[in-house]
Amino acid sequence: MIVVVVHKLGSPTSVKMLADASGKWNFNLIFSSVNQALSTAISPSPTLHSDSHRPFTSITMLKSGLARTLRASGLARPTAARRAFQPIRSNLAPALGARFASGVGDGKIHQVIGAVVDVKFDTDALPPILNALETENAGQKLILEVAQHLGENVVRTIAMDGTEGLVRGRSATDTGSPIMIPVGPGTLGRIMNVTGHPIDERGPIKHTQKKPIHADAPEFVEQSTSAEVLITGIKVVDLLAPYARGGKIGLFGGAGVGKTVFIQELINNIAKAHGGFSVFTGVGERTREGNDLYHEMQETQVINLDGESKVALVFGQMNEPPGARARVALTGLTVAEYFRDEEGQDVLLFIDNIFRFTQAGSEVSALLGRIPSAVGYQPTLAVDMGLMQERITTTQKGSITSVQAVYVPADDLTDPAPATTFAHLDATTVLSRGISELGIYPAVDPLDSKSRMLDPRVVGQDHYDTASRVQQMLQEYKSLQDIIAILGMDELSEADKLTVERARKLQRFLSQPFTVAQVFTGIEGKLVDLKDTIRSFKAIMNGEGDDLPEGAFYMVGDIDSARQKGEKILADLEKN
């Protein structure tokens, strides 16, 4: 009788062959033949292209090698040897097949350096770049994203969460795909992190579908080539710096100038006017600000815990490792892509702050040992930014319009981070502290805010001429302010006095009551149609409001509302 025991396939193999006492077998021949069969079985075949077939082929080759061994040693007559081998094949094959069915199996953590984790696999089959690996740290699931193949079956990964407490030798499993996150209506009103895990303590996110955060931009044939304006219902934006449907808008503004309220009103108006949803992505945001935003959205009913919400939130806070901050923008974009592609929605995607996305990419690049480029940024800065920005576009089904808060380091517009971002922007909306100090909200600077959509071929000649006249009148008023401050209004000509008077009314008319601020101001919010906006500004510049006081134009919707308010003010003055 012969018993063959194979301890491990694909590594130095131990084969024990036992004979009965009466046999005179050539053990040297047996061992040399078995070793040859094993080396043939575990060596990669040049004709095989799929790693998933290798284990079964290896076992078949091992069996044929053993058969040759038995024939060479005169042991082919007994069938017991063949029957003894059958259990080995039937036991090994299903286990190996199951291992290679999903991903490439398990590896071991080889090295941990901060957010960088090296994982070593036993075979040459390695998980592809951008695949997600799963391991466990302190009882919690930790996701690692493959970034580099180092050789010696080692892959270098970036951790999506803290690695404190992670040790060498711990198992890491290839998931067989990139990071997958839940998408769909169940994400509305919820907060998730970069891996799609809910962080609002309201239980699992209800979903029927998951999508990978890495995807290609829509093909040329899928994209819409027509330039369309996205009507926001905010007068100053729609008239002077209109947003492109599927475009990218840079939002510039410091603390306390109404940036959060402006964002909330956009979310509310998009839901009302277009029935669309919004996704807010906090990239490197302060945890306190994210918490404040969440509760403010509940107060203004943008998020309704008991009903339908209009926005999904994705946060990668400032305390998160660079891997999470570098990928959380893609998570938010993936949620938005579902509503665009599957439900045909016009989606509004907010990214606050796009600079943190670049900053996190720079940190990851340094951790991976890449040679830095200008000012210490990653050499792949333009590619990283382009891969994300090109996914934000209009297709035949729907659109994603992105509003991105932009931080400019040291107010240097030539810094590579903001300079790379500017190349992708279609419009800029600048919130001015000087205008907010006048009590005019939204505090959008009408002279600094620009849009490539303000073109007569896109918006029409009437819209373009009206916007140009408004900007010209406001610019003239700005140049006269120094003279007024020194000499007073009396020194101006009659034409200049009329310009100043109308410009001040225009300036106040650029203010607008917001629906989301109604609980604080007590003034009903107004969503103004573009036609009414153009008609109202033309009327003011043509002198139709010259008989009304300046206060009549403050916090109203259209010219009709201003006239009603003005008549009421004049009536109250007559009574007194």
Q: How far apart are CA 185 and CA 243, in angstroms?
A: 26
CA–CA dist 374, 368 (Å, integer): 17
- CA proximity to 315, closest of 266, 279, 346, 342: 279
How many Cα neighbours within 13 Å face the side chain of 49?
Answer: 0
Residue 213 has what DSSP assignment? S
The answer, yes or no, to whether the previous bond of 353 is cis (omega within 30 of 0) is: yes
Residue tagged active-site, from 8, 286, 531, 568: 286
Query: Which amino acid appears at position 265 of this protein?
Result: E
Q: Count Cβ neighbours within 10 Å for each residue of 168-180 and write b for 16 or more, e otherwise.
A: eebebbbbebbbb
Q: Provide the 3-class DSSP secondary structure of residue 408.
A: coil
Residue 409: φ, ψ to 5°? -60, 125
CA distance 368 to 380: 12
Q: How many CA atoms lie within 13 A of 409 on its CB side?
A: 14
CB 4 within 8 A of CB 88: yes
Question: Of 193, 507, 440, 451, which is closest to residue 335 (Cα–Cα)?
Answer: 193
Q: Is 259 a catalytic residue?
A: yes
Measured between its terminal Cα atoms, the distance across the chain in Å is 120
Strands 229-230 and 346-352: unpaired
Closest CA to 358 of 331, 383, 333: 383
Q: How far apart are CA 1 and CA 540, in angstroms?
A: 107
- Structure tokens of 10? 């694909």
Cβ–Cβ contacts within 10 Å for residue 495, how many? 9
- Both tokens of 247, joined, read 């475009």
Task: Write down the H helix ranges in 161-317.
Answer: 235-240, 259-274, 287-299
At residue 23, the 3 state secondary structure works out as: coil
CB atoms near residue 225 (< 10 Å)? 6
B/e letters for 265-287, b = 16+ CB within 10 Å, e = fewer, are: bbbbbbbeebebbbbbbbbbbee
Radius of gyration of the chain (CA): 34
Catalytic hit among 259, 310, 340, 508: 259
Cα separation, 143 vs 174, in Å, equals: 10
Query: Can you count the helices (H) and strands (E) in the chain?
Result: 17, 18
From the list 285, 320, 337, 363, the catalytic residue is 285
Tokens 């700005």 belong to residue: 478
Query: So which residues are the catalytic ones?
Result: 259, 285-286
